Structure 1
Amino acid sequence: MSTPTEEPELPAAEPVPRSRLRMQLVWLVPIVAILIGGWLAVKAVMERGEQISISFKTGDGLEAGKTKLKFKDVDIGVVEAVSLTRDHKRVVAKAEVTRDVSDLLVDNTRFWVVRPRISGGTVSGLGTLLSGSYIDVDVGNSTKARRDFVGLEEPPAIASDVPGHEYTLHGVGLGSLDVGTPVFFRRIQVGQVSSFHLDPDGRGVTVKVFVNAPYDRFVRTDTRFWHASGVDMSFDSNGLRLETQSIVSIIIGGIAFESPPGSQVETSADSGTRFELYPRRADAMEQHDRIVDKYVVNFTDSVRGLTVGAPVDFRGVVIGEVTAIYTRFDSKTRQFSIPVEINLYPERFTSRYQNDGAGDGGRLTADPRALANYLVERGLRFQLRSGNPLTGQLYLAVDFFPDAPKASIDWTKTPPEMPATPRTLQSLQDSVSRLLTKVNNIPFEDIGKDARSTLRTTNAMLGQLHTQVVPKAFDTLLSAQSTLDSANAALQPDSSLQQSTEDAMRELTRTAASLRTLADYLAQHPESLVRGKSEDKKP
């Protein structure tokens, strides 16, 4: 019988202290996960872009999560939410902009929604028909940061980084101008209209134009701007003239500028300089005078065809213009008259050549009142004349009329009143009236009586001629006719007189032949006159 095998004794368990290192390894994974999560969270917070809000009048083209913000066609953000303001009048777009462009968010940075537009003759935003609308950004130059903006409803005509200068123009009307309308210099497009608005008093409009570099150096302090819209048509002594800047200006309008002829100014105008916007080039290029003398000319004849702005002409040179036309009733004489106010420009008499004895300040004399009195005493008068027979327009002419009645300037009135003389047509009418007066004074009744008496005497004489002279004259005519008939019969070819005449002519011919024979014989035998004709000897 076998004995059981003894199992070896197990060693006694000895307690081993717990290792701290093993505990850290167990928690290492969650700790690392927490650290990674925290790092990602911190990174997300650190990389999170700037939050801005942009308000627009409408939400057209805005869509949360899709509408991008772009600067120079590079995505810099996205619209996260679109909502209405509390008063429901505007739309607010909440957008996130990447942090690396946060320095672009300054006070005068501009935002606008890019969508298809046609404005000022230009078409923009056609690419958004496929890609969708987006918000474009034009960075300002301010140093003040900003996060709440008011978006533009129309894209700015000029970006802030485009070199050039902006100028302010003031005119009486906008015409066909719009934002983006071209600006021309010598028919080359050098800029465009950037904005416009109505004056607070409603008496004009202010237009801002931007001229690109390097063309902005041609805008000088004396430069003139004018409307170049459509076609400028004028009819003068040189015929019909048509002027335009380009086909574009005919369709959408435009503005042109140029310095006046003969200008010596070389100083370029600063940005923001204010200029006058004239309706036409002819108005812009008119001479601008520093001295203006105001007068009134009182007319008693019709001024139909005379308008405000009509020229005051001295022998073909424009020296002023009409500024106002009124009517006046004189309670003493109970007559109506037409006072016409005018502006005269004394500098136009000395604009190019210095006159002997010219006074200071561009005048002909230092005492203009004494000169005016002297000229009026010598017959200086104002007269209405026809400027265009086709349209009936009148202008005011200044000239000397030595035969005009004596007159003087009424310096007691404000403005002083200058004497006038009737125009040529009126003078002709006065002459006709005087002629008719003289004709009316002719004694036509007495002349008629004398004429009737003369007619009776004439009739009596004609009766006597008919009863006495006419029969005798008729007999005389009959006798003359008979004599002519006899003479005509005698001259007929078969008449006896004609035959006798022919016989006589034949006899005369034979006689002439005999005389010629005799003469020949005597020439050969002159001795025959003494001896006689010798007999021919026979052989």
Structure 2
Amino acid sequence: MKKDEIVEVKIKKSEINFVVWIIPVIALLIGGWMIYRYYAKLGPEVVIYFKNSGGLEPKQSFVKFRDVKVGVVERIEILKQKEGVAVYARMNKDVTPFLNEKARFWIVKPEIAIGKVRGLDALVSGSYIQMASEVGGKKKVEFQGLDEAPLDIVLQEGRNFWLKSSSSYTLTPGLPVYFKDLEVGSIKKVELDKSGEFVNIYIFVKKPYDSFINSSTKFWNIRGVDINLAANGINLNIGTLSQLLIGGVEFFTPVAKLREKIDLHHPLWLYPSKESALHKKLGVSQTDYRNFLLRFNKGIGYLQKGAPVKFRGFEIGSVKDIKASVKGGEIDSEVIASIDVAAFKKTSKEGIEPFEEAVKNGLKARLEQSNILTKTLFVNLVFDKKPGALHQIDTNLYLLPTLPVEQNSLIVQIQSLLTKLEKLPIERSINAFSNLLEKNSEPLRQTLLSLHRSSDAVTKLLDANETKALPKELHILLKDLQHTLKSYETLAKSYSNNSLFKKQLTKTLEDIDRASKALRKVLLKLDKKPNALIFGD
């Protein structure tokens, strides 16, 4: 080949190796399928408004529904128009039918309380959003989050109940509910009533123990140690160690089958102790306390806050507040008392109408003395002949008619008796009786002599043989006459001037006079110093 000779280049078509592209194509198809499946499963994006984020983290926190993860938090924004945050969450497509007006959301975060740990799963995975809903209703994508789980959400079989109390007794959500020393539920929520008068406590009781709760059930706060001063001594009740350290609520149902069932809309009363819960109660329904204004113009100096309100021996309320002022030399006072109007109800569904009917029939309030030594007072509800009227002053405040203070204490009754005794002419009666005996001593002597002679004559007559021959009936009659004459003779002798009868009668009258004077001095001392019997002069 010559150097200048050009070699012709032969061009050949390159062969495509499809085997090399199989793997990338398959990977692309799989990736596309996964992307499709991902977006196919995605449901709508929802926004939930909370007061704060509650520990939620974007791309990490989940939305759970029936313990299944059905969404993820994508972002959290701070609201500019109002306080709070907006949590945006991408939901799964299969929960779309549940995103309606019935859906509710709240944040679950770990909480450690005495004797109870809530949100244990959140302790490991972090805070998450819990969802509750059901199919039906108008579709929604914006929701207002709740501060806590709603009471009607029951994750296990059982029922919720509503308790009312005058105090929270430091109860907190999560504390146990006991029945016969068995833990049968827990406290769900504790909040102040809108009226500010009571505390609402919501509890959950598991099945089958919820069936033992009805209108006769009594609830009380567990204090661990319950000391009660009774007539037979001091009663000391100590609960279990867990009850002593933790506390909680306990209940007892005296009539398990006879009373009507109740639900979350009918509150039950929570008593401060077991002793007060099981104390005798007037009425068939649950406790229903109302506030009443009582006006008195005198006699409240010994009335204290917390003094009982009674009706025919039953304690149905207490004094909550006392206000007094001086007007024109007189003391005008206003007493606020909390009274259980359920004492006058026949069924648990009635309101204040039965109590109002009792006021129309003359029911009124009166101050009475409960202790003769301390002079402490209490409010007693009594019926008066004159009818009254109940006036409503505020939402939960009524004006109850009152009666003047009645001095009906034991000391006053004794003083009245002694006054009557002092008015008796004892000394004059003794003198008159003595004069009577002295003036009539001679007639009495003559009478005694005549009676003695007559008796002897009858005796001789009975001893005579002629008398014995008389008919039997006449003989018996003469014996009766003899017995009667001797009886009159004995009686006449007993009324003589120096007889035992006169001496005993005179001594008795003198003792009565001395005792009345001595007792009068004691009563005067007690009136000035009521505790003189305990501490002396």
Alignment match of 1:146 (pick from 140, 150, 156): 140
Q: Following TM superposition, by how much is the alpha carbon of 1:192 offset from its aligned partner in structure 2, in angstroms?
A: 2.0
- Is residue 275 from structure 1 mapped to residue 262 from structure 2 by the alignment? no
Q: Following TM superposition, by how much is the alpha carbon of 1:159 offset from its aligned partner in structure 2, in angstroms?
A: 4.5
Distance in 2, matches of 1:38 and 1:396, equals: 85
Q: Which residue of 2 aligns with 1:355?
A: none
Letter in 2 for 1:196: V
Q: Which residue of 2 aligns with 1:160?
A: 154
- Is residue 173 from structure 1 mapped to residue 167 from structure 2 by the alignment? yes
Q: 1:251 to 1:113 in 2, by over 3 A?
A: same
Are the aligned partners of 1:301 and 1:422 in contact in 2 as well (CA < 8 Å)? Answer: no
Q: 1:90 to 1:236 in 2, by over 3 A?
A: same
Are the aligned partners of 1:139 and 1:160 in contact in 2 as well (CA < 8 Å)? Answer: no
Letter in 1 for 2:369: L
Letter in 1 for 2:211: R
Distance in 2, matches of 1:319 and 1:396, equals: 10
% identical aligned pairs: 24
Q: Following TM superposition, by how much is the alpha carbon of 1:202 offset from its aligned partner in structure 2, in angstroms?
A: 1.8
Q: Which residue of 2 aligns with 1:432?
A: 521
Q: Which residue of 2 aligns with 1:463?
A: none
Alignment of 1:8-47 (within 5 A): 43-47=37-41
Q: Which secondary structure does the structure 2 equivalent of 1:193 belong to?
A: strand
- Is residue 182 from structure 1 mapped to residue 176 from structure 2 by the alignment? yes
TM-score (norm 1): 0.52
Are the aligned partners of 1:176 and 1:229 in contact in 2 as well (CA < 8 Å)? Answer: no
Q: Following TM superposition, by how much is the alpha carbon of 1:51 offset from its aligned partner in structure 2, in angstroms?
A: 1.9
Q: Which residue of 1 aligns with 2:408?
A: 421
Distance in 2, matches of 1:133 and 1:270, equals: 35
Q: For residues 456-498 of structure 1, what are the alpha-carbon distances to aligned partners after superposition, in whole Å with 9 as ceiling and x for unaligned?
A: xxxxxxxxxxxxxxxxxxxxxxxxxxxxxxxxxxxxxxxxxxx
Are the aligned partners of 2:167 and 2:198 in contact in 1 as well (CA < 8 Å)? Answer: yes
Q: Which residue of 1 aligns with 2:250?
A: 256
Q: What is the root-mean-square deviation in Å for CA atoms of aligned residues? A: 5.5
Letter in 2 for 1:66: Q
- Is residue 195 from structure 1 mapped to residue 183 from structure 2 by the alignment? no
Are the aligned partners of 2:212 and 2:256 in contact in 1 as well (CA < 8 Å)? Answer: no
Q: Following TM superposition, by how much is the alpha carbon of 1:258 offset from its aligned partner in structure 2, in angstroms?
A: 2.4
Q: Which residue of 2 aligns with 1:133?
A: 126
Q: Which residue of 2 aligns with 1:217?
A: 211
Distance in 1, matches of 2:131 and 2:96, equals: 13
Are the aligned partners of 1:234 and 1:242 in contact in 2 as well (CA < 8 Å)? Answer: yes
Distance in 2, matches of 1:425 and 1:275, equals: 43
Q: Which residue of 1 aligns with 2:529?
A: none
- Is residue 240 from structure 1 mapped to residue 234 from structure 2 by the alignment? yes
Q: Which residue of 1 aligns with 2:369?
A: 384
Q: Which residue of 2 aligns with 1:98?
A: 92
Q: Which secondary structure does the structure 2 equivalent of 1:432 belong to?
A: helix
Q: Following TM superposition, by how much is the alpha carbon of 1:210 offset from its aligned partner in structure 2, in angstroms?
A: 1.9
Q: Which residue of 1 aligns with 2:52?
A: 58
Q: 1:267 to 1:91 in 2, by over 3 A?
A: same
Are the aligned partners of 1:176 and 1:252 in contact in 2 as well (CA < 8 Å)? Answer: no
Q: For residues 193-234 of structure 1, what are the alpha-carbon distances to aligned partners after superposition, in whole Å with 9 as ceiling and x for unaligned?
A: 222332223222222222221111111123233333443321
Are the aligned partners of 2:45 and 2:90 in contact in 1 as well (CA < 8 Å)? Answer: yes
Alignment match of 2:308 (pick from 310, 334, 343): 310
Distance in 2, matches of 1:53 and 1:341, equals: 50
Are the aligned partners of 1:229 and 1:250 in contact in 2 as well (CA < 8 Å)? Answer: yes
Q: Which secondary structure does the structure 2 equivalent of 1:49 belong to?
A: strand
- Is residue 208 from structure 1 mapped to residue 195 from structure 2 by the alignment? no
Q: 1:138 to 1:257 in 2, by over 3 A?
A: farther
Distance in 1, matches of 2:151 and 2:76, equals: 27
Q: Which secondary structure does the structure 1 equivalent of 2:172 belong to?
A: coil
Alignment match of 1:117 (pick from 108, 111, 117): 111
Distance in 1, matches of 2:306 and 2:63, equals: 56
Distance in 2, matches of 1:77 and 1:382, equals: 67
Distance in 1, matches of 2:42 and 2:299, equals: 85
Structure 1, unmatched stretches of 5+, are: 1-28, 352-360, 362-367, 373-380, 399-408, 437-539
Q: Following TM superposition, by how much is the alpha carbon of 1:93 offset from its aligned partner in structure 2, in angstroms?
A: 2.3
Q: For residues 16-75 of structure 1, what are the alpha-carbon distances to aligned partners after superposition, in whole Å with 9 as ceiling and x for unaligned?
A: xxxxxxxxxxxxx9x999999987776554332332222332234322222233345543
Are the aligned partners of 1:411 and 1:417 in contact in 2 as well (CA < 8 Å)? Answer: no
Q: Which residue of 2 aligns with 1:67?
A: 61
TM-score (norm 2): 0.52
Are the aligned partners of 1:174 and 1:205 in contact in 2 as well (CA < 8 Å)? Answer: yes
Q: 1:255 to 1:159 in 2, by over 3 A?
A: same
Which segment is superposed worse, 305-314 or 414-423? 305-314
Q: For residues 145-188 of structure 1, what are the alpha-carbon distances to aligned partners after superposition, in whole Å with 9 as ceiling and x for unaligned?
A: 43323334445678534222222222222221222232222232
Structure 2, unmatched stretches of 5+, are: 1-21, 286-291, 347-353, 355-360, 389-400, 416-517, 526-537
Q: 1:432 to 1:322 in 2, by over 3 A?
A: farther
Distance in 2, matches of 1:136 and 1:339, equals: 53
Alignment of 1:251-400 (within 5 A): 251-259=245-253, 261=254, 265-285=258-278, 286-289=280-283, 304=302, 308-310=306-308, 318=314, 384-386=369-371, 394=376
Q: For residues 267-292 of structure 1, what are the alpha-carbon distances to aligned partners after superposition, in whole Å with 9 as ceiling and x for unaligned?
A: 3223432223333334433313389x
Which segment is superposed worse, 193-202 or 151-160? 151-160
Q: 1:303 to 1:189 in 2, by over 3 A?
A: farther
Q: 1:64 to 1:172 in 2, by over 3 A?
A: same
Distance in 2, matches of 1:36 and 1:45, equals: 14
Q: 1:281 to 1:311 in 2, by over 3 A?
A: farther
Distance in 1, matches of 2:50 and 2:257, equals: 49
Distance in 2, matches of 1:337 and 1:48, equals: 74
Are the aligned partners of 2:299 and 2:405 in contact in 1 as well (CA < 8 Å)? Answer: no
Q: For residues 387-415 of structure 1, what are the alpha-carbon distances to aligned partners after superposition, in whole Å with 9 as ceiling and x for unaligned?
A: 9x9xx6957699xxxxxxxxxx8859943
Distance in 2, matches of 1:290 and 1:136, equals: 45
- Is residue 227 from structure 1 mapped to residue 221 from structure 2 by the alignment? yes
Q: 1:412 to 1:311 in 2, by over 3 A?
A: closer
Q: 1:207 to 1:255 in 2, by over 3 A?
A: same
Are the aligned partners of 1:410 and 1:416 in contact in 2 as well (CA < 8 Å)? Answer: no
The structure with the larger Rg is: 1
Are the aligned partners of 1:410 and 1:417 in contact in 2 as well (CA < 8 Å)? Answer: no
Q: 1:151 to 1:246 in 2, by over 3 A?
A: farther
How many residues in Structure 1 have an aligned counterpart in Structure 2? 367
Q: Which secondary structure does the structure 2 equivalent of 1:206 belong to?
A: strand
Which segment is superposed worse, 320-329 or 181-190? 320-329
